[in-house]
């Protein structure tokens, strides 16, 4: 019986580990796009180590504020993931700069493949995340130097409640954490979700649903 329990625990641990970015089996695996191969890999193809340079591990530009006027929510996220920094491949980490106009919002969203650790550099942010059912909200007001963590896969948000610009940086536990913005996914999917489905799910008039879909 004890052997069965141990095997079950090891199987569960293996399953949990495989849910995250795999551990590297070498010092590095600089990403490259190889269109000549039809083999799919969970990540990026590795560049020949003899051709790797310091620039493969380098990114410049996070000192530059993002354009918060380019969208209706007044925020901008500059993500440095494996597509921007090839040296991140297989290392299980990425970085983002978040800029907020006064009362700017990074709307409710989720990262399906990464936990997020946020630190406020300037300004005051109202942040929070919602658990899986029964959907408990954990929220906090953050000031300069404060840190908050958003667990992997949970819906979360950041809102600038100050009258000045705000800046934050976030580390994510995946080279490619992904992002699903809830409103965009629900009302702006392509092709669109049947309005009858959304009308019943949100208890809204069908005309309201169709109006919201047009906004996205």
Whether residue 191 is preceded by a cis peptide bond, meaning omega within 30 degrees of 0, is yes
* Paired strand residues for 61: none
pLDDT digits 0-9 by tens, 156-190 = 999 999 999 999 999 999 999 999 999 999 999 99
Which residues are part of a known binding site for Mn(2+)? 109, 111, 116, 156
Q: End-to-end alpha-carbon separation of the chain, Å?
A: 56
When computed from its CA atoms, the radius of gyration of the chain, rounded to whole angstroms, is 20
Provide the β-strand partners of residue 94: 172
Kind plus residue range of the DSSP H or E element containing 214? helix 206-215
Q: Quick one: which of 30, 23, 24 has its CA closest to 45?
A: 30
Q: Which segments are annotated as binding site for oxalate?
A: 106, 111, 116
Strands 137-142 and 125-130: antiparallel
Percentage of residues of the chain with pLDDT beyond 70: 85
Please state the residue numbers annotated as binding site: 106, 109, 111, 116, 156
Place of tokens 């942040």: 127
Q: Which helix H or strand E contains 209, and what residues bound it?
A: helix 206-215
pLDDT in tens, 9-49: 444 444 444 456 766 657 778 888 776 655 666 678 888 99
For residue 61, give both structure tokens. Answer: 């530009």
């Amino acid at each position: 019986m004890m052997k069965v329990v141990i095997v079950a625990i090891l199987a569960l641990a293996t399953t949990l580990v495989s849910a995250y970015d795999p551990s590297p089996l070498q010092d590095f695996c600089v990403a490259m796009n190889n269109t000549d191969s039809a083999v799919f890999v969970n990540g990026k193809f590795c560049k020949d180590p003899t051709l790797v340079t310091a620039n493969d591990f380098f990114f410049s530009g996070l000192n530059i504020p993002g354009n918060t006027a380019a969208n209706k929510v007044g925020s901008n996220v500059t993500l440095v993931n494996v597509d921007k920094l090839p040296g991140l491949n297989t290392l299980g980490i990425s970085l983002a700069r978040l800029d907020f106009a006064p009362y700017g919002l990074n709307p409710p969203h989720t990262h399906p493949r990464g936990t997020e650790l946020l630190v406020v550099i300037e300004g005051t942010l109202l942040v929070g995340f919602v658990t899986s059912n029964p959907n408990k909200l954990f929220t906090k007001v953050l000031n300069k130097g404060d840190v908050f963590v958003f667990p992997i896969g949970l819906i979360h948000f950041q809102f600038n409640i100050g009258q000045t610009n705000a800046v934050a940086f976030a580390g994510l536990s995946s080279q490619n954490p992904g992002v699903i913005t809830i409103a965009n996914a629900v009302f702006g999917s392509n092709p669109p979700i049947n309005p009858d489905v959304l009308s019943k799910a949100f208890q809204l008039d069908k005309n309201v649903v169709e109006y919201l879909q047009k906004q996205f």
